[in-house]
Structure formats: structure tokens, C-alpha cells
Amino acid sequence: MHIFRTHNCNELRLKDKSKPVKLSGWVHRKRDHGNLLFIDLRDHYGITQVVIDKSNKNFSLAEKTTSESVITIAGKVTPRSEESLNKNLPTGEIEVAVEEYIIESGAKPLPLEVNSDKDYGEDTRLKFRFLDLRRAKMQKNILLRNKVISLIRDGMIKQSFTEIQTPILTASSPEGARDYLVPSRVHPGKFYALPQAPQQFKQLLMIAGFDKYFQIAPCFRDEDSRADRSPGEFYQLDYEMSFVTQEDVFSALEPVLFDIFTKLTKNFSISKPPFKKIPFDECVKKYGNDKPDLRNPLILSDVTDIFKGSSFKLFAENINKGSIVIAIPAPNSKDQPRTFFDKLNNWAKDEGQGGMGYIQFIKNEGKGPIANNLDKERINKFLKIEGVDGNSSIFFLCGKSDEIREFAALARTKIANELKLIKENEFKFCWVVDYPMYQLNPETNKIEFSHNPFSMPQGGLKALENEEPLKIKAYQYDIVCNGVELSSGAIRNHKPEIMLKAFELAGYARKELEKEFGGLLKAFDYGAPPHGGCAPGIDRIVMLIAGEPNIREIIPFPFNQKAEDLMMNAPAEIDEERLKELSLKVLDLKMKD
């Protein structure tokens, strides 16, 4: 017999009765009846009840065993009597009557209970992550993560993508987030950087002729954390394809996502490929931002023209000063009481807005303070807005274009939630396409790349030379699910002359470009295929399927909010010797105060 186990803890059934077996696992829970003791023995696979009584020489040893100790028992599979069946356990028809009992590794009193789903503070959970990971929810989430990754591999390999690793120690990139830097021993004063994404490498792989590449790619960015953003590192499904249009990039990913979401959820309705495509400009107009939650049926409308020059002075005057007015419909709200509108108005004020006015239509008749100050002709125009009928209400937000659209996106979600319009069991995907190539930095008043500088501008060199830069679109796109931005991607710019011009418009001199992106730029001079790709965030996909609002719930060993690993004690101070080796000197930080 094997020294540790003949079966795992989720294997034994009635058909195994009378078999001599050996099991190993953790003491999940003990029920001590004095002369009779039940132990729920747990391993990765499940739980089996083992029973031992006073007649056994090991009884007192078993009684003394603490929760989460690791034990090995040998004994006989015994059917349970009718009254003592446990229908909640797959192994609930049997138990194992203990003969041999060995404590492999005792456990001290626990800082957190493995056998409960009680909430613990995150510092406790992260400090004792190995215990936290034993708990049912974390086991489930990590297994889900594994399934997502394995379905990604299956789906990509099936489409003849080649999985290729790219360097972890590479060069710092000038654009984007802060890099994590690694000092070089061999080259004093010089640094490697961890990649923020394998962007340049995947383009070089296309130029190298690998045609279709993918990788479960670790990405490192030194950013501050959010609930949906782990500081330090995260993973992307990074992929890139040669000789493709935007449509080809989409149709490579769509079946993979559809497959993952379909196989790993129950009773959810999932967008079927091809996913909806929404141009960026239209998206911002209709939803307020570029990551729409399409489960929400409400659509924003610009009603500035209707209020312009009207007798509703508050809006009319602000419009003259350059403000716009956005309408958000609230369908079937003729019976909503005054408090419904007051509540939302107060919410808007709490969020720092002037307020959120409204018109309530009851049988085509407009009511409320705004309606009282507007002529009938204008009021009737509201009935023609998308998503509005004679029993709707309309909320209005007035302000400067960019800021008020951003808030309208929040209000759209808030109103839909209040009216319970968002279905919980849906995953709705869309592509946001035609991103602008450039945007104006309001602080410096300079033109900068709005997204990825390597994207191909629509219209190519001609557009860059002849058109107003802020009007140029790029073959640049995002994929969004339920209001969560999963990734962005682009058809790349593979022509050096277009790239030089594109960077020139963003204020980069040729020399600068050659210094920062020399490797890639040089490669374009030796036969570069047209190519494009995308890189959806794996952590966010797992979050969506797991229904977890916090990214740290689906990462085995995440940093805390301050980018520390409390279990491994990272980051940590380094010996003087090793600093010297790296030609580094730590400044006295107290000097700063």
C-alpha cells in the first residue's frame, strides 16, 4: 500500500465498501463525542468523513489533533446507515473507519479559519495567503483561472497561433506607465526594465515571420492600485497576426472569448460572435465613455439645441457659455414618486454636480419644474428622443462637454440600477473602434497620442500630411464586456515613413524616435508584413466570470495596495555588499523630511 494514500478525499463511494484504504489530508473539522470522533478529512479534491472511537489505540492522538493539521489514516470503507447519510457530500454515503492514524504535520491555532467563509482583513489574508488559498472560495477562483488559461491555449492553438516567450528583462519604454527597473551588475549605472507589455517583441515576431503569435504574457507596471488593478504585475492574452485586417483580429478572439464565457458560466446569456462594433465618437455620445455596459438599455442624447435660447434660463445661459445638455431617459416611470427624482438629484449634488433636472411624462404630458419653464413645442421634441415615449421621464445634465459626459456615464448606470434595468446574468461584448489617433493635452495644449503610438492611422501618410491631426482616426480598438475594458489593440503601423510622420505630429524628433524605438524601427526597413493584434487582460476575464469585484480575489499571490508582499516580505532592503556590486547607493531617506 502507498505510504500516503490509495485514494483522494473525493473518490470513495458505496461501491468501495469494505475496501482497505489510505487517505491523507487536512483536518477540516472535528466533531468529538467523547468516546466517538468524526473528522472531515479534506484535500484538494474533496472531503471524506473518517471515524474513530475509544477502542482504537490512536483515539487520544486523534482527539488532540488540531484543525488544519495534516494526517494520514488507514482504515476500511464503511457504508453509512440510512439516518447518517450526508447528501451534501459526494462521499456522503460512506465513511472510513480508522485503524492507523499518523499526524504528518501538526497545525498551531489559526490566524484565519479555513473551514468558514467569514471575512478577514486583507493584511491577515495576504500574510497567511497559504491558509487563505486553502479556503473553498479561493480554491474555486484559482481553479477558474486555470480553466480560463487552458481554454485560451486550446482556442489559440486550434487556430494555429504559436505560443512564444518574450524577455522579462528588457529596455525601459518612454511612453506609458512607470517601469519597474532592474540594475545591471555588468553595466554600472544602467538598468533593465520589466516589460509593460511585450508590444515591440510581438511586432518583431511578426517581422520574423511567425505569422500568428500568442502568449499568456506577464506585464509589469508601476502604477497605484485599484479594486480592478493589481499593482506590480498582471497577465494578458497577448496576440498578434500578420497580413490581417481589423476584422481578422476580431474574429480570432471572439470565438475564444465566447467559448470561455459559455463553458465557465451557468445560465448566462453571452454575446455571440460577431460582437457589436461601435465607433468611438458614437460610443462617447451614446454612453458617455468608451467602455459601455450594453446590458444597460439607456442611451444618452445631446439636447443642447432644444434648450438653446429657451425660457429655462439656467440651461440656456450655460449653453451660451459653452455648456451642453445631455438627456438620459428613464422608461416606464410615470408612476415614480417625487422622491425618486429628488433622490437622484441629491445623488448628483453629492457627486459634485450642480444637480440633475428632469421632466416626467404622464400620458405625453410633461411635468415637473423644467417642464413648467419650457414651451410646449420644445417639450414635445423630447418625446422624439431615442428611448423615450409618453410614459418616460428624462433626466438632464448640463455642463462642459468632456466632464459632463463622464458624469452622464455614471448617471446612466445609476438610473438603470435604480430602475433595475441591468440583467445580472448577461455578458455583453462589443468592440469600440475608430479611436482618434491624437488628442489634445489640456494642460500643455500639445497634441499627443491618444492610445498606442504604433497604430496605423486611417488614411495612412496622406491623412497625416493633409488632415487636421485631431480628426484623424486610427485602426485602434478596445474590447469591452459589461462596462469593463478588457483590452485594446490595433492594426500596427509597419511603414517607417508613416511612423516618422506620426511621431513628428506628436512632437517627437526623428533622433528621439530612433533612440527609443530603434530596434523596431530598423526592423521595418527589412521587409515588415502588415500586422495587428490585441491583448485582453486575463485577470479581468477571470474577475467577470467569478463575479469578483476585487482583482486580488483571483490572483494567487497578489501584492497589497501598497505593492508589498506581506508573506515574502517584498520589497526589502538589500545588503550593502550587493548594492555595491550593482553600483547603487541608497540615499538617506530621512534627509527628505
Partner RNA sequence: GGGGGUGUAGCUCAGUUGGUUUAGAGCGCCUGCCUGUCACGCAGGAAGUCGCGAGUUCGAGUCUCGUCACUCCCGCCA
Given the rule CB under 7 A, which residues bind RNA? 29-36, 38, 40, 49, 51, 53-55, 66-67, 80-81, 83-86, 88-89, 92, 95, 109-113, 116, 118-124, 173, 175-178, 196-197, 199, 221, 223-229, 448-449, 451-453, 550, 552, 560-562
Q: What is the DSSP letter of 179?
A: P
Kindly tell me which of 337 and 442 has the beta carbon lying closer to RNA.
442
CB of 217 to RNA, least distance (A): 11
Q: What is the DSSP letter of 470?
A: G
Backbone angles phi, psi at 261, to 5 degrees: -70, -35
State how far the Cα of 303 lies from the Cα of 323, in Å rounded to an integer: 11
Kindly tell me which of 29 and 153 has the beta carbon lying closer to RNA.
29
Kindly tell me which of 178 and 263 has the beta carbon lying closer to RNA.
178
CB of 300 to RNA, least distance (A): 19
Q: The C-alpha cell of 75 is what?
A: 482504515
Determine the residue type at 519.
G
State how far the Cα of 203 lies from the Cα of 538, in Å rounded to an integer: 21
Calculate the CA dihedral of residues 222, 224, 228, 230 and round it to 10 degrees.
40
- Quick one: which of 146, 114, 108 has its CA closest to 130? 114
- Quick one: which of 506, 323, 514, 347 has its CA closest to 417? 347
CB of 220 to RNA, least distance (A): 11
Whole-angstrom distance between the N-terminal and C-terminal Cα of the chain? 67
CB of 147 to RNA, least distance (A): 25
Kindly tell me which of 120 and 268 has the beta carbon lying closer to RNA.
120
Burial of 541 (0-12, 13-18, 19+ CB in 10 A): buried
Decide if 449 contacts 506 (C-beta within 8 A). yes
State how far the Cα of 374 lies from the Cα of 366, in Å rounded to an integer: 10
CB of 340 to RNA, least distance (A): 24
CB of 170 to RNA, least distance (A): 12
Q: What is the DSSP letter of 487?
A: E
CB of 508 to RNA, least distance (A): 12
CB of 316 to RNA, least distance (A): 30
Cα 104 → chain centroid:
40
CA distances from 286 to 289, 343, 492 (A): 8, 24, 28
CB of 433 to RNA, least distance (A): 16
Kindly tell me which of 233 and 259 has the beta carbon lying closer to RNA.
233
Kindly tell me which of 175 and 302 has the beta carbon lying closer to RNA.
175
Kindly tell me which of 35 and 445 has the beta carbon lying closer to RNA.
35
List alpha helices for 59-184, DSSP H.
59-64, 122-127, 129-132, 136-158
Kindly tell me which of 378 and 552 has the beta carbon lying closer to RNA.
552
Kindly tell me which of 289 and 360 has the beta carbon lying closer to RNA.
289
CB of 506 to RNA, least distance (A): 9
Neighbours of 576 (CB within 10 A): 11
Kindly tell me which of 259 and 564 has the beta carbon lying closer to RNA.
564
Query: What are the DSSP E strand ranges found in 33-143?
Result: 36-42, 47-53, 70-79, 94-105
CB of 446 to RNA, least distance (A): 12
Kindly tell me which of 32 and 389 has the beta carbon lying closer to RNA.
32
- Quick one: which of 467, 325, 464 has its CA closest to 396? 325
Q: Are strands 429-433 and 276-279 parallel, antiparallel or unpaired?
A: parallel
State how far the Cα of 536 lies from the Cα of 260, in Å rounded to an integer: 13
Kindly tell me which of 261 and 407 has the beta carbon lying closer to RNA.
407
State how far the Cα of 381 lies from the Cα of 385, in Å rounded to an integer: 7
Q: The C-alpha cell of 344 is what?
A: 437622484
State how far the Cα of 460 lies from the Cα of 518, in Å rounded to an integer: 21
Q: Reduced to 3 states, what is the DSSP secondary structure of residue 292?
A: coil
CB of 371 to RNA, least distance (A): 34
* Rg of the Cα atoms in the chain: 30
Q: Are strands 301-302 and 426-427 parallel, antiparallel or unpaired?
A: unpaired
Kindly tell me which of 145 and 451 has the beta carbon lying closer to RNA.
451
Cis peptide before 274 (omega within 30 of 0): yes
CB of 237 to RNA, least distance (A): 14
